[in-house]
């Protein structure tokens, strides 16, 4: 097995920072050779609020993965989350140049530029311009128009943006950890790389990455994303509710949630009791497990209702493949059953798959974004995009070209 490249993914989340080093083989298979996971500090709802603490967290994760792998990390794909990630769809149309009237790479790039030229406020930064499909002389559904005879070429794109200050602060923290940025990738799109099948993307599916502070959401149809958003709720909200409801510390509430929590009340024995240490009460007391689960179920029901509103706003009935839940908080017991009830569509919980190497403890939903970042990088390699390794800073010209290439050669 010949090694083609070594890629690095850094997922900077609300509760943890994860750095993974992966070797990509010629056949596209991915082997993880280094990993570092440290508790995150300096972030609130996936946005940097303290530069020094965030730099320490990133440096810690990078050091761990370097020691395990023996590689020195100098650049990485970095996930961007936080409430400030938004998206819009845009079309660009150009007349096909050249006397042959055949679509060339230059025509495609010009159409991309036109689509990209939508008015985006100056306080926002473009993360991705992803081609969704082409229309050649009115003929829709064209995936790759290169070489086709045409007079007019239209392109449909999905543009993902984030608050410029949040992006710059994250980039500053990564660079202060002595790591250059290959590309900034919206966390939901990275997670989608790790957990969605091609069939689901084509049919219409949503991926909801439920982290500690936020839910990263991406909706796909016909193989490409058409809506990307972030909801400002996550697993921490459930923990807070449990802590308040039982008058206990956040640490105890988190343990209760993880060990005894369930969103499916029908599976909970009403007579089961659990002991809890209370604030200011030596020795603690016992509480009904059903009471704990009722608190969890109420908060998760509200969360799914927010998710449902977001999905319905994007268009009714577009997701026959339903919703795929991933992220650390998707591991709550009974979460898929509650999701099916509230969303009224298929719901499954998924973690990353198809990766070899140092996979113990990371092949679960909490690591979908980190592993997805490696897949994202590997997909760019497949597209024959060697510029990536000498590319301009994130958001520079090569990333536009890269996005175009990635869509043309899926």
Cβ-contact 138, 150 below 8 angstroms: no
Q: How far apart are CA 16 and CA 171, in angstroms?
A: 17
pLDDT at residue 384 in the model = 59
Q: Which two tokens stand for residue 156?
A: 């449909």
- The domain defined by 86-163 folds into Dna Ligase; domain 1 (3.30.1490)
Cα-Cα-Cα-Cα dihedral sign, residues 248, 252, 257, 260: negative
Three-class SS of residue 263? coil
Give Rg (Cα) of the chain: 22
Tokens encoding 212: 């500690």
Tokens matching residue 142: 């064209």
For residues 365 and 326, the answer to whether their CB atoms sit within 8 Å is yes
Under-70 pLDDT residues of the chain = 1-3, 280, 384-410
pLDDT at site 360: 86
Contacts of 256 (CB under 8 A, 6+ apart): 242, 246, 248, 274, 276, 292
| Reported pTM | 0.90
pLDDT in the model for residue 100 = 83
Whether the Cβ atoms of residue 88 and residue 132 lie closer than 8 Å to each other: no
Instruction: Look at residues 325, 77, 61 and name the one whose alpha carbon lies nearest to residue 218.
Output: 325
Q: Report DSSP letters for 141-177, one per residue.
A: EES--TT-B-SEEEEEEEEEEEEHHHHHHHHHHHHHT
Q: Quick one: pLDDT at residue 119?
A: 85
Strands 30-39 and 355-357: parallel
Looking at residue 330, its pLDDT comes to 96
Please tell me the predicted confidence (pLDDT) of residue 279: 74
Residue 381, pLDDT score: 81
Mention every residue, 6+ apart, whose C-beta is less than 8 A from residue 336: 325, 347, 348, 349
Contact 80, 185 (CB under 8 A): yes
- Say how far apart CA 326 and CA 19 lie, in whole Å: 18
Place of tokens 């449902």: 308
Residue 391 carries which DSSP code?
P
Task: Give the C-alpha separation, 283 to 302, whole Å.
Answer: 33
What token pair was written down for 224?
A: 């490409």
Q: What are phi and psi of 248, to 5 degrees?
A: -130, 175
Token pair, residue 300, equals 């998760």
Sign, CA torsion 189/377/80/358: positive
pLDDT of residue 394: 38
- H helix intervals, 47-163: 51-69, 105-116
Distance CA 248, CA 373 (A): 37
């Amino acid at each position: 097995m010949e090694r083609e490249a070594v890629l690095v993914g850094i997922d900077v989340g609300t509760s943890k920072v994860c750095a993974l080093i992966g070797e990509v083989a010629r056949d596209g298979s991915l082997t993880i050779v280094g990993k570092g996971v440290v508790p995150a500090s300096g972030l609130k709802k996936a946005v940097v609020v303290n530069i020094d603490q965030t730099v320490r967290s990133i440096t810690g994760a990078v050091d761990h993965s370097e020691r395990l792998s023996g590689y020195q990390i100098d650049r990485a794909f970095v996930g961007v989350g936080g409430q400030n990630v938004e998206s819009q769809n845009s079309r660009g149309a150009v007349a096909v140049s050249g006397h042959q009237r055949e679509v060339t790479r230059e025509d495609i790039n010009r159409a991309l530029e036109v689509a990209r030229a939508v008015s985006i406020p100056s306080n926002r930064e473009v993360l991705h311009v992803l081609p969704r499909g082409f229309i050649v002389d009115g003929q829709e559904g064209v995936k790759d128009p290169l070489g086709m005879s045409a007079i007019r070429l239209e392109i449909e794109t999905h543009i993902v943006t984030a608050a410029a200050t949040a992006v710059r602060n994250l980039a500053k923290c990564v660079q202060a950890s002595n790591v250059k940025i290959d590309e900034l990738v919206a966390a939901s799109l990275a997670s989608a790389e790790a957990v969605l099948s091609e069939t689901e993307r084509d049919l219409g599916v949503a991926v909801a990455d439920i982290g500690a502070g936020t839910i990263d959401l991406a909706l796909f149809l016909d193989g490409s994303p058409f809506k990307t958003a972030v909801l400002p709720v996550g697993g921490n909200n459930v923990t807070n509710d449990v802590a308040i409801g039982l008058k206990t510390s956040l640490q105890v509430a988190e343990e209760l949630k993880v060990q005894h929590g369930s969103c499916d009340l029908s599976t909970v024995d009403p007579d089961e009791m659990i002991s809890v240490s209370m604030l200011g009460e030596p020795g603690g007391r016992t509480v009904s497990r059903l009471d704990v689960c009722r608190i969890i179920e109420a908060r998760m029901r509200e969360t799914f209702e927010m998710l449902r509103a977001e999905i319905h706003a994007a268009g009714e009935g577009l997701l026959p493949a339903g919703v795929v839940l991933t992220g650390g908080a998707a591991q709550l017991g009974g979460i898929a059953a509650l999701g099916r009830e509230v969303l009224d569509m298929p719901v499954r919980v998924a973690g990353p798959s198809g990766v070899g190497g140092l996979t113990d403890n990371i092949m679960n939903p909490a690591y979908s974004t980190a592993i997805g970042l490696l897949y994202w990088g590997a997909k760019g390699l497949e597209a024959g995009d060697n510029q990536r390794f000498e590319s301009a800073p994130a958001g520079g010209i090569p990333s536009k070209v890269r996005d175009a290439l990635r869509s043309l050669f899926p």
